[in-house]
Amino acid sequence: MISTTTARGGPSAAGTNWHLRKFENLIAFGDSYTDEGRLGYFWNHGGTPVPIGTVLPFSPVDSDGGIIWDRWVSIYTNATLFDYATAGAVCSNNIVKKYVPGITNPIPDVLGSEIPSFIGDTKYVNPNTGTNTVYGTNRKADNSVYALWIGTNDLGSGSFLTDSTFAGTTIVNYTNCIFEVFDAIYASGGRNFVLMNNAPLQLSPEYGILDGVGPNQYWQDKPSNITAIGYKMWEYTSLVNEIFRLQIPYEVHVSGRFANAGFVLFDTHALLTDIFNNPSHYLNGTSPLDVTNPYHQCNITTGTCENATASFDSYFWWDEVHPSVRVFQIVADAFVNITKGSSKWAQYW
């Protein structure tokens, strides 16, 4: 691992409600940036949800071409991972619905699917043992961390970026949904929350301001105004991330919405931007470092995909939207340090 911990500016962990006695459980929600095979289950079972009480197996190949970030956290710390994230998910299907081939229903969202699955698992009683065989008795307020990373699909093509959300919905509906998710986790006994803000999508091949790609597997009818797309995405991610920065302390210290809960804002936007701007400090490939082109590309006409011939870990982006395994290893390393109570990439409340 490469260390990303330094003395942190901003709010100090001292005096906050971040009380993690021992990091034993990581319970994660989100989209393809976090999914470890959950959407695959829907695909392989005709759109049927994962049954309550079922723990999906480890997946060695995810959206980054390898192991996903939260599994790296589990590997680095021995914390048990419970991953409810679903590739393609948005925070709420009441704002926008996304579809993928092979599944008739909309892609399950965080608020309407992932959270009910989590709550169902916490209450599950195995009929053979008479006990909860998912969490057992080891999910406690001071040993479990709940992480949420959602927004790439909410803000991107087929959603706010292309004016595809339901009439009367705004970005504020999305940011409010984030805290409704934490309301549900809080009601279930969760007390240590990590909100991972929106990645710098304006740097991605999909939404890049200057180096963006054309039509591709994720946006087949992408228009040619690449620069305008990039700046609009930059505006959206900046707006949302600033709302998060201001709303968390309001909810914790002013409204009293999450009494005795500890909140961390993980500035993934800043971390990924730093990797993008200083790749030699992070990427360790033997080939020339590449922060603009995707390693894995698919031809939307033929459906064939191919990988670059250069070193895999020299790339920032796995494909048009998803960071590479190496980048997610760095995210995981930063997350581990955040759970310890001090990181330049985090603010604590």
The model's pLDDT over 163-208, given as tens digits with 9 standing for 90+, comes to 999 999 999 999 999 999 999 999 999 999 999 999 999 999 999 9
In this predicted structure, what is the pLDDT of residue 9?
Answer: 39
Could you tell me the residue ranges of all domains in the chain? 25-348
What is the arithmetic mean of pLDDT over 203-217?
94
**What number of other Cβ atoms are within 10 A of residue 237's Cβ?**
23
In this predicted structure, what is the pLDDT of residue 227?
Answer: 95
Whether 325 and 285 have beta carbons less than 8 Å apart is answered as no
What is the arithmetic mean of pLDDT over 112-140?
97
In this predicted structure, what is the pLDDT of residue 161?
Answer: 98
In this predicted structure, what is the pLDDT of residue 19?
Answer: 86
In this predicted structure, what is the pLDDT of residue 331?
Answer: 98
In this predicted structure, what is the pLDDT of residue 285?
Answer: 78
How confident is residue 66, by pLDDT bands cut at 50, 70 and 90? very high
In this predicted structure, what is the pLDDT of residue 102?
Answer: 82
pLDDT at 291 over 90: yes
Phi then psi for residue 144, to 5 deg, are -125, 135
Whole-angstrom CA distances from 305 to 35, 80, 211 are 21, 34, 20
In this predicted structure, what is the pLDDT of residue 185?
Answer: 98
SS (H, E, C) the chain: CCCCCCCCCCCCCCCCCCCCCCCCEEEEEECCCCCCCHHHHHHHCCCCCCCCCCCCCCCCCCCCCCCCHHHHHHHHHCCEEEECCCCCCCCCCCCCCCCCCCCCCCCCCHHHHHHHHHHHHHCCCCCCCCCCCCCCCCCCCCCEEEEEECCHHHHCCCCHHHCCCCCCCCHHHHHHHHHHHHHHHHHCCCCEEEEECCCCHHHCCCCCCCCCCCCECCECCCCCCHHHHHHHHHHHHHHHHHHHHHHHHHHHHHCCCCCCCEEEEECHHHHHHHHHHCHHHCCCCCCCCEEEEECEEECCCCCCEEECCCCHHHEEECCCCCECHHHHHHHHHHHHHHHCCCCCCEEEC
Phi then psi for residue 202, to 5 deg, are -70, -10
Separation CA 171–CA 153 (nearest Å): 12
Q: Give CATH for domain 25-348.
A: 3.40.50.1110
Tell me: the pLDDT tens digits for 2-32?
333 333 334 445 457 888 999 999 999 999 9
Q: Give me the sign of the Cα torsion angle 147, 245, 318, 313.
A: negative
In this predicted structure, what is the pLDDT of residue 1?
Answer: 41
